Amino acid sequence: MVHDAVKAVDRRLRSRTGRAAALICGLALLGGCGGSGHSKPPAFPTTGAGVGTSIRTANCSDWQRGPVEARRRTVVLLRGFAGGPIGSSSGIQNGPVLDDTRAYRVLESYCANHFARGFKLYKLYERAAAFTGH
Amino acid sequence: MWSSVRFGGSVDRSHRLFIAVAAALLSALLLPTLASAHVERASYWPDPAPDCSVHPCAGGTVPTARSLSSALSTSGAGTTRVVCQPDSLTRAQQSIASAESTGYVVRPTQGRQKLSASAGSALLAVNRDLFSRCAFNSIQDAVTQSGNNDRVVIMPGLYTEPKSRAALTHDPACAKYTITNDRGNASAVSYAYQFHCPNDQNLIAVLGRAPGPKPPPQPPLSDRHGIPDLGPCIRCNLQMEGSGVSADDVVIDAGRVASGDSAPIGPVKDVGIRADRADGFVLRNVKVRHAGEHDIYVLESDGYLLDRFKTFYGGEYGVLTFVEDHGLMQNCEAAGNGDSGLYPGAGADTGNQRDVTIYPKFRYSQEMRNCDSHHNAGGYSGTDGNATHVHHNNFYDNALGFTTDVFTAPGHPGFPQDSDLIENNNFYSNNFNPYAAGSDVVPSVPLPVGTGLWIAGGNDNVIRNNRFYDNWRRGVMIFAVPDQFVCGPAGSIDPSQLAGCNPSAIPPSTSYRNQLYGNVMGRAPNGTVAPNGTGDVATGRTDFWWDQYLGNTGNCWHDNVGKAGTAASVTSTPPAPFLPSACNSSSMGTVGPQQEPELLNCLADIEFKTSTCPWFTTPSKP
């Protein structure tokens, strides 16, 4: 069942790739970042500012207000944040992280809900990362 | 509810996109700029041994509070500084009179307590004497002038600390004290930052020690035992307390005063009271509210006592104690917080997973008792909250009464969470929906409305002799947080993106040997039947819910009784006899077919829908 669950996620991931890419491109256009005309979104940026004032405090309201490029940068920052040292007695050294594209989709999807406006992005990210393979 | 109507499965993707974009544009136009919060430093557990460079020694045990009347004595250790306002004595008189006639409230479930005439007279006499000695109108000023063993007595009144509020947040002059934390963030505020700029982040800051002679190690140490840049005690064994009848008499407000004990919070500072490296710190008989993050925040301290306090409407937590040892909070009320009311996080790892060279014997490093935590997103939170003894508390009217977890393990020393003892508490009516439109609490975390307690990735916890009732979704959830996937399942994560991974961490290290016994499920103390969930196994609306994670062993449920007062009336997912009663290795997870999808849909789905995740909709009353 675990493997089935993983496969189910991957199936969903694949089936939604096209729609998600369109969504990202659409938001990029609306966000004033310019449309490249390419079907494949550019790499997630490793420099620049993310949404909100800090990665620890950024929430879904910040995400919704932020331009697409800042959101994409936030995903990279969250990867660094979530992948930090754990200080474990079990041998685990670092926290789990998500694939950037997947992380973007999870945050897009969750933050579209009004009730999530106060959700901290890192809390959403780290929960999702923990359960990617659940 | 609201969200499922607007964004439910019947709404097509383009419509959702339009709404999302419109919402984003509207938000950008309408919402004010939020106050920016600070990046926290990497933190370390304090040395558990007492520091006897001061007398009496600081730390090594929970401090004992000194009586209020002893603050007037000229003998004994320490100097007393009295803080007051012009009307403090009048307020004290009125409060005492009211307490004698109609009573006062320490916490809601206890009811009103009356003050005897003799006790009232004695308290008034103390307050008169204190008033004659009052030399401060700012709590921070009194704290700043205090040293080891000193006391700050706060007389009745409303304290907004204007000077602290006026202090710059992210003062450029303080930027030189920022450091790189364990997440690689170079703008973390160091202890030296707090020391030199105490009101940048905090309304009131109690800095117990001088900065160490050497700067903190960069990068931070992976072993979090012992504070590497510890300086000498300068404000250890400080006692801060209100001199009123109850916590309601001394109000410390870090935000929007006009909101009273409610919302909106309108925070001015991130933290109400911060006690940092403040070994032997005592805080009692005050109310703190409206901080942007934590109303009360105790950090890297060995030995603290928080007693007879109230916290209302903090943006994140009413109380956060972090990487502490020898801590006790008691006789308290916490309500209206965006994450949790009470959060003893990352307590010293003195339980079964302890380092025996540092903690030779098993002991509980934190204790919480006689508290009411209600009307928060979560009543209690304990990310990597280790070896915490939680007893005789009430958790009610939250979305989730109690969570201890490992979701946000990075930055929280002590993974995996372990060795809590949770006994003789009431977890009931946790059906508050902060996700509904119009909620006065803005939740910062996704939690399942209608749930009494969950342990998300913990080991060796004992949950016994509690009552769980009237939680409409379910009573107790136990599930794994699977760390073996840190390297990614089936290649779906690009290994180059991983900060580190441990493919040998199989089987998972979380959700083992948790014991649940002697609990009364679905029945209030007065005998009223109030079920947890409907008993429907297909939807998991049962007293107990276990994910049956593959390979988890030693989790057991035995000698619990259900709504009919019998073991047979306990409901569970999986149903008996698949819920193990034996606490040995014969208890083994074999995968829960309904449970896994719920966790996945609510925590990790790339296309989140309230139609597939029910957590944010109030469950029907059973």
Q: Which of B220, B353, B603 sits opposite A127 (nearest CB)?
A: B603
A32 at B interface, C-beta within 8 A: no
Res A14: pLDDT = 33
Query: DSSP of chain A, one letter per residue?
Result: -HHHHHHHHHHHHHHTHHHHHHHHHHHHHHTTS-----SSPPPPPSSS--SSS-TTT-BHHHHHHS-HHHHHHHHHHHHHHHTSB--BSSS--B-----HHHHHHHHHHHHTSGGGTT-BHHHHHHHHHHHTT-
* B192 pLDDT more than 60: yes
Shortest Cα–Cα distance, B408 to chain A (Å): 6
* B16 pLDDT more than 50: no
CB contact under 8 A, B445 and A123: yes
Q: Cα(B620)–Cα(B178) distance, rounded to whole angstroms?
A: 50
A113 at B interface, C-beta within 8 A: yes
Chain B residues lying within 8 Å of A85, measured CB to CB: 182, 220, 222, 410, 500
Find out whether A93 and A30 touch, Cβ atoms under 8 Å. no
Quick one: which of B194, B7, B258, B183 has its CA closest to A57?
Answer: B183
Task: Express each pLDDT in B118-162 by its tens digit.
Answer: 999 999 999 999 999 999 999 999 999 999 999 999 999 999 999
**Closest chain A residue to B597, measured at CA:** A5
Q: Cα(B451)–Cα(B476) distance, rounded to whole angstroms?
A: 7
Chain A residues lying within 8 Å of B409, measured CB to CB: 86, 88, 92, 95, 126
Task: Express each pLDDT in A53-87 by its tens digit.
Answer: 888 889 999 999 999 999 999 999 998 888 777 65
* Mean pLDDT of the B176-188 span: 83
Task: Express each pLDDT in B358-406 by its tens digit.
Answer: 999 999 999 999 999 999 999 999 888 999 999 999 999 999 999 998 8
Quick one: which of B407, B547, B420, B421 has its CA closest to B481?
Answer: B407
Judge if pTM exceeds 0.95: no
pLDDT band at B188 (very low <50, low <70, confident <90, very high): confident
**Closest chain A residue to B493, measured at CA:** A99
Find out whether B621 and B8 touch, Cβ atoms under 8 Å. no
Mean pLDDT of chain A: 70
Task: Express each pLDDT in B227-242 by its tens digit.
Answer: 999 999 999 999 999 9
Q: Which of A26, A52, A95 sits opposite B410 (nearest CB)?
A: A95
Stronger pLDDT, B493 or B189, i.e. the higher one: B189
CB contact under 8 A, A27 and B39: no
**Closest chain B residue to A128, measured at CA:** B604
Q: Which of B498, B505, B616 sits opposite A83 (nearest CB)?
A: B498
* Mean pLDDT of the A100-114 span: 94
Chain A residues lying within 8 Å of B7, measured CB to CB: 112-113
**b vs e for B342-381, b when ≥16 Cβ sit within 10 Å of the residue's Cβ?**
bbbbbbbbbbbbbeeebbeeebbbbbbbbbbbbbbbbbbb
* B492 pLDDT more than 50: no
Res B606: pLDDT = 84
pLDDT above 70: percentage of residues in chain B: 90
Q: Cα(B126)–Cα(B118) distance, rounded to whole angstroms?
A: 12
Res A86: pLDDT = 65
Q: Which of B39, B500, B597 sits opposite A54 (nearest CB)?
A: B39
Quick one: which of B343, B358, B443 has its CA closest to B402?
Answer: B343
* Mean pLDDT of the B591-612 span: 89
Q: Hey, which residues 37-96 in chain A have their CB within 8 Å of chain B?
A: 52-57, 59, 61-62, 64-65, 79-96
Res B64: pLDDT = 97
Q: Give the list of residues 6+ apart from residue A107 with CB closer than 8 angstroms, or none.
A: A60, A63, A71, A74, A75, A121, A124, A125
Q: Which of A88, A100, A132 sits opposite B489 (nearest CB)?
A: A132
CB contact under 8 A, A23 and B19: no
B603 at A interface, C-beta within 8 A: yes
* B452 pLDDT more than 80: yes
